Amino acid sequence: MTGPTLEDERTGQDAATQRRSRRAAAFAEAASAGWKVWLVKIVLLGVIDALAIYAILVLITQGQWLPPIVVAVVTALVNVVYLKPGLLPAKYLTPGLIFLFVFQIFVVLYSIYIAFTNYGSGHISTKDDAVNALLLQSQARVEDSATYPVKILEKGGEFYLLTAEPGSGDIVVGGADQPLEAVPGANAQGAPGFTTLDFGQIIQNQDAIGALSVPLTSDPNDGFLKTTDGSNAYVFTSTLKWDPKADTMTDTKTGVVYTDTGRGAFTASDGTQLLPGWQVFVGFDNFVKAFTDQSIRGPFFYVLVWTFVFALLSVATTFVLGLFLAIVFNDPRMKSRRFYRVIMILPYAFPGFLSALVWAGMFNQDFGFINQVVFGGAAIPWLQDPWLAKVAILIVNLWLGFPYMFLVCTGAIQSIPDDIQEAGRVDGAGVWQIFRHIKFPLLLVSVAPLLISSFAFNFNNFNLIYMLTNGGPRFADASINVGQTDILISMVYKVAFVGANRDYGLASAFSIIIFILVALISFISFRQTKVLEELN
């Protein structure tokens, strides 16, 4: 074996010298920035660190552990990036990466997480909150309950009851989340740190005070103290009895026992559930429900097919009309072409949701412009009939979309070299042959990516559907609020935010399906676009 050669030693020394030079240059660059820049940097990092520490403490108090760790790691990395000399690319990339994670990646990951839970109406909070809510909503006054003279206290925007315990006379204070307990320094008129409400203040807040239920002890089965007039309170107990050891909820009136079946609600033997429940992980149940539940599967596949038809016809009709107008107004023999082009793009200049509202009025069955003027007073149910409503949507979307295609096609046609077209004329090709074999293939290469993006936009064109028909007419036999002109994105909105039963888990599952469909179609379309480029 031989040791390192002289050349290897020189190479190592040169590398070390270069590292020292880069380090010295980084420190020199930092020093040249001046103390003012460093002061601003330290102040901003101090604000960020303070907010991060506050967020970490809040998350920990809520029983969260993974989010505080993520916040701590990200904050530490930000401090390293901006305090260490050099790392110039990271200094520019860090804010963008953070916003990308918060507003894009986190939203997608959270939607995926929700899709595998039963999160929705009646299943929003934790099991402890559900138990308390069930006991509170099934309260009944205890017969011959002792009267508790009370004072109404306020602290931090929350209301409390101050009273004396029967028998002992001890002064105790309790709130919605705090059982009755002794407070040092409290007397019959108030307690330190609390504000005692007068009669006028009680009147102003009588709804909130009347809804206040104060647990007598830490065991909710012992009952609650409630007041209706702000001066006297009575004991209320729940008709449900919670047994934490057996994990059951028993109806004391009927004797029915409800158990935790692992589905996020106390359930009786006949399948009856007590709501509210709580949020639990349900695996692929939402996806299975979307494809197997008869009352959901039929409307879902109907909406899925209509979404594809709507997106394809919207792209096809707007492209054909836009291309036709671009060819017409690109003819040099036409006079005042600029004036006509301005008129053509006017629908594109107005907000889409306003245009949809105007068209909704024009399509009105009783007094709309189209029925009254165009069809001589006919009562055509444009927005009430399922098929006519689809036609109306396509007409309005054509009005809104053709100016964009007109502008795109105009630019693409003008970019085609004249010598290529002239060569076609020399070879004896006619106008139609030049368009078919020369202009259109070249135009399609540049326009195809925009057609794909237009398809993706119309696949999720929520504004038009919501403003024009609101998805109606509605399916009468569907268990979810969905109509015959809904597309997938408007159906997701209704499942999540419209009606009494809002199923965020199912809506998130639909969102993932939409994402997969659009991504798959875009991938296939871009591959075909690449084939077109290779052919040309």
* Tens digits of residue pLDDT in 109-133: 999 999 999 999 989 999 988 998 8
Q: How far from 308 is each of 314, 382, 471, 520, CA to CA, in Å?
A: 10, 21, 15, 13
Quick check: is 521 in a domain? no
For 155-196, the DSSP string reads ETTEEEEEEE-TTT--EEEEETTEEEEE-TT-BTTB-TT-EE
Q: Are 334 and 430 found together in one domain? A: yes
Give CA–CA dist 82/368, Å, rounded. Answer: 62
Quick check: is 53 in a domain? yes
Q: Which two tokens stand for residue 258?
A: 């409800």
Q: Are 83 and 155 found together in one domain? A: no
Give CA–CA dist 504/121, Å, rounded. Answer: 8
Q: What is the pLDDT of residue 358?
A: 93
Single residue among 255, 274, 293 that ends a domain in this structure: 274
Q: What is the pLDDT of residue 465?
A: 95
Quick check: is 520 in a domain? no
The answer on pLDDT for 150 being more than 70 is yes
Helices 352-362 and 386-414 pack at an angle, to 10 degrees, of 140
Query: Residue 266 pairs with which residues in a beta bridge?
Result: 260, 274
Quick check: is 12 in a domain? yes
Q: Are 23 and 96 found together in one domain? A: no
Give CA–CA dist 129/144, Å, rounded. Answer: 30
Comparing 422 with 246, the larger pLDDT belongs to: 246
Q: Are 242 and 363 found together in one domain? A: no
Q: Are 466 and 357 found together in one domain? A: yes
Q: How is residue 531 annotated by DSSP?
A: H
Q: What is the pLDDT of residue 391?
A: 96
Q: What is the pLDDT of residue 88?
A: 78
For residue 56, the domain's CATH number is: 1.20.58
Single residue among 81, 115, 149 that ends a domain in this structure: 115
Of 21-30, 223-232, 480-489, which range is least confident? 21-30
The answer on pLDDT for 441 being more than 90 is no
Quick check: is 471 in a domain? yes
Q: Average pLDDT in the 1-12 region?
A: 54
Torsion of CA 416, 418, 422, 425, to 10 degrees: 50
**HEC profile for 105-156?**
HHHHHHHHHHHCECCECCECCCHHHHHHHHHHHCEEECCCCCCEEEEEEEEC
b/e map of 457-475 (b: 16 or more CB within 10 Å)? ebbbbebbbbbbbbbbbeb
For residue 398, the domain's CATH number is: 1.10.3720.10
Q: What is the pLDDT of residue 1?
A: 46
**What is the rounded average pLDDT for all residues in the chain?**
87
Q: Which domain holds residue 80?
A: 33-115
Q: What is the pLDDT of residue 31?
A: 54
Q: Are 311 and 362 found together in one domain? A: yes
Number of CB atoms found within 10 A of residue 150's CB: 23
Number of structural domains, the chain? 4
Give CA–CA dist 230/11, Å, rounded. Answer: 87
Q: Are 49 and 89 found together in one domain? A: yes
Q: Are 366 and 416 found together in one domain? A: yes
Quick check: is 486 in a domain? no
For 274-310, the DSSP string reads ESS----B-TTHHHHHHHH-HHHHHHHHHHHHHHHHH
Comparing 190 with 36, the larger pLDDT belongs to: 190
Query: Using one digit for the tens of pLDDT, what is the confidence trace for 296-325?
Result: 999 999 999 999 999 999 999 999 999 999
Q: Are 329 and 420 found together in one domain? A: yes
Q: How far from 139 is each of 159, 273, 530, CA to CA, in Å?
A: 20, 18, 68
Q: Are 97 and 178 found together in one domain? A: no
Query: Using one digit for the tens of pLDDT, what is the confidence trace for 22-71?
Result: 666 655 555 555 556 677 888 899 999 999 999 999 988 877 888 899 99
Quick check: is 229 in a domain? yes
Q: Average pLDDT in the 376-388 region?
A: 93
How sure is the predictor about 532, in pLDDT bands with cuts at 50, 70 and 90?
low
Number of CB atoms found within 10 A of residue 451's CB: 18
Q: Are 391 and 455 found together in one domain? A: yes
Quick check: is 443 in a domain? yes
Q: What is the pLDDT of residue 478?
A: 83
Q: Are 161 and 73 found together in one domain? A: no
Give CA–CA dist 354/348, Å, rounded. Answer: 12
